[in-house]
């Protein structure tokens, strides 16, 4: 099924969407982080089991088994969302992950954890994620009005950040308490809770029509639409390059920077915390304020500031200055993601939204392996200054493209936007 933008925004819907004033929406917003906690618990259980049984060298293989299908199938998952519907696919994803965790727990209890099992489990989980990410990304415009998209996105961002903080320690504690089987069972429960939250959610009813294109043609059409839609194209470029730069900087360059300056593991930890605090603060502010003037221009300006901050890192005089830069980098990074995604949700036609959100998911979760490898290689052969300046140049390129895009500068969350 494919849906038209006019149907999505029809004010005469027979069933009103939940909106932020209804408890159903808050139930969904509360349940989603619980499933993300389950993601973290699963990741800890998977990596710890692999390290303990097969050694650290095999961990990368198992993680790649999850990451590869997630990225390769993500755009196909977006097409499914556009054909079947965001809520239906999100419900399927959580229910499927719960069933997978229960089956995995039963297998582990009877047969242990052979490597082939861990690889298949990781691949299946990654494949389901390829549907889950675009489905949940396409949900907010079906639940709230355009002027509430900014608040919803940043409430979700706060939930995601909380899940990242809680999930990993919980996974470690569960392994210590009862082993990997307990982790898998608790994980299944988190997905059940998320499924219930989604089932309670009311979305705008959409008029369905049979797809006029073959599946592969819709995949190609999604890429073509992203390339031709100026707002989507430039925001996708900014988010992709910002995430690409930040992933390598945080996970590779920061440890080198802390070691080179004698700040130790404590200094590295503080830099990581600074990024998180800054991003969380931005999400909290945007969730409360719920609107921003000229959101497209603000997003591009955040990218410009982010490039400037990255370029300053190699020349910091001490840890307090570097920590201040890290907090500021988190603030502007939170601004990029916290505003760009609502703009896309508001501006992209409903029939393309699943594919658009799948591209954003690829930009955020799919670029990390390349970023880590590239940053490590550049740092080793060219040094930290070149690494930070290269990251700054990438973000600056995308920010400049956004600043020179008239449709992006004129974009608003207050009324439908038609790209020039």
Task: Provide the pLDDT for residue 317.
Answer: 80
Is pLDDT of 7 > 90?
no
> Which pLDDT score, from 0 to 100, does residue 121 have?
96
What pLDDT score does 290 carry?
75
Provide, rounded to the nearest whole percent, the portion of the chain with pLDDT above 90.
65
10 Å Cβ neighbour count for 135? 28
The predicted model scores a pTM of 0.87
pLDDT for the residue numbered 16: 52
pLDDT at position 8: 42
Cα 82 from Cα 154, distance rounded (Å): 24
Q: How confident is the model at residue 56 (pLDDT cuts 50, 70, 90)?
A: confident
Helix (H, G, I), strand (E, B) or coil at 414: coil
Round the average pLDDT of the chain to a whole number and report it: 88
3-class secondary structure, 209 = strand
For 111-144, write each residue's pLDDT tens digit.
999 999 999 999 999 999 999 999 999 999 999 9
Q: Which domains, and CATH codes, for the chain? A: 5-9+16-205 (1.20.1250.20), 226-409 (1.20.1250.20)
Per-residue pLDDT tens over the stretch 65-115 = 998 999 999 999 999 999 999 999 999 999 999 999 999 999 999 999 999
| pLDDT band at residue 5 under the 50/70/90 scheme | very low
Residue with the larger pLDDT of the pair 297 and 39 = 297
Residue 15 has what DSSP assignment? S
pLDDT at 13: 39
pLDDT digits (tens, 9 = 90+) for 179-189: 899 999 999 99
pLDDT of residue 419: 39
Higher pLDDT, 55 or 189: 189
Residue pLDDT, tens place only, 241-283: 999 999 999 989 999 999 889 998 889 999 989 999 999 999 9
Whether pLDDT at 342 is above 90? yes
pLDDT digit string (tens) for 223-235?
999 999 999 999 9
Angle at 226 between CA 8 and CA 348, to 5 degrees: 20
Which residue has 């917003």 as its token pair?
29
> Mind listing the pLDDT tens digit for each residue in 191-214?
999 999 999 998 887 654 556 678
Burial group, residue 403, by CB count within 10 angstroms (0-12, 13-18, 19+): middle
pLDDT of residue 207: 54
Q: Look up residue 335 and give its two tokens.
A: 């601004």
Phi first, then psi, for residue 209 (nearest 5°) are -140, 155
| The predicted structure's pLDDT at residue 365 | 83
Q: 262 — alpha (psi -120 to 50), left (phi > 0) or beta?
A: left
Is residue 93 helix, strand or coil? helix
Integer Cα distance of 183 and 369 in angstroms: 26
Least confident span in 182-191, 212-221, 408-417? 408-417
Query: pLDDT tier at 55 (50, 70, 90 boundaries)?
Result: confident
């Amino acid at each position: 099924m494919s849906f038209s933008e006019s149907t999505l925004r029809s004010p005469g819907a027979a069933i009103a969407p939940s909106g932020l004033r209804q408890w159903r929406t808050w139930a969904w917003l509360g349940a989603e982080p619980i499933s993300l906690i389950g993601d973290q618990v699963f990741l800890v259980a998977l990596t710890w089991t692999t390290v303990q049984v097969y050694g650290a060298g095999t961990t990368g293989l198992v993680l790649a088994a999850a990451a590869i299908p997630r990225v390769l199938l993500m755009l196909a998952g977006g097409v499914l969302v556009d054909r079947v519907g965001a809520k239906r696919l999100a419900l399927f994803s959580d229910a499927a992950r719960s069933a997978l965790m229960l089956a995995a727990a039963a297998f582990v209890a009877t047969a242990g954890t052979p490597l082939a099992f861990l690889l298949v489990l990781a691949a299946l989980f990654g494949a389901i994620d390829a549907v889950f990410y675009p489905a949940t990304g396409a949900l907010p415009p079906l639940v709230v009005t355009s002027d509430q998209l900014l608040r919803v996105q940043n409430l979700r961002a706060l939930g995601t950040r909380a899940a990242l903080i809680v999930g990993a320690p919980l996974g470690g504690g569960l392994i210590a308490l009862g082993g990997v089987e307990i982790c898998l069972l608790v994980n299944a429960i988190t997905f059940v809770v998320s499924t219930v939250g989604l089932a309670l959610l009311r979305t705008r009813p959409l008029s369905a029509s049979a797809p006029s294109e073959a599946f592969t043609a819709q995949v190609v059409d999604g890429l073509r639409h992203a390339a031709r839609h100026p707002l989507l194209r430039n925001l996708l470029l900014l988010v992709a390059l910002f995430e690409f730069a930040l992933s390598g900087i945080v996970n590779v360059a920061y440890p080198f920077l802390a070691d080179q300056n004698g700040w130790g593991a404590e200094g590295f930890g503080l830099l990581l915390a600074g990024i998180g605090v800054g991003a969380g603060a931005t999400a909290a502010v945007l969730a409360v304020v719920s609107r921003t003037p000229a959101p497209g221009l603000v997003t591009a300006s955040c990218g410009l500031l982010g490039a400037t901050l990255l370029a300053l890192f190699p020349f910091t005089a001490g840890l307090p200055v570097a920590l201040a830069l890290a907090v500021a980098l988190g603030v502007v990074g939170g601004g990029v993601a916290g505003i760009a995604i609502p703009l896309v949700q508001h501006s992209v036609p409903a029939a393309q939204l699943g594919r658009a959100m799948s591209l954003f998911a690829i930009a955020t979760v799919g670029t990390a392996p390349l970023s880590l490898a590239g940053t490590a290689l550049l740092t080793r052969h060219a040094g930290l200054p070149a690494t930070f300046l290269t990251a700054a140049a990438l973000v600056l390129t995308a920010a400049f493209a956004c600043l020179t895009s008239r449709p992006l500068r004129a974009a608003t969350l207050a009324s439908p936007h038609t790209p020039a």
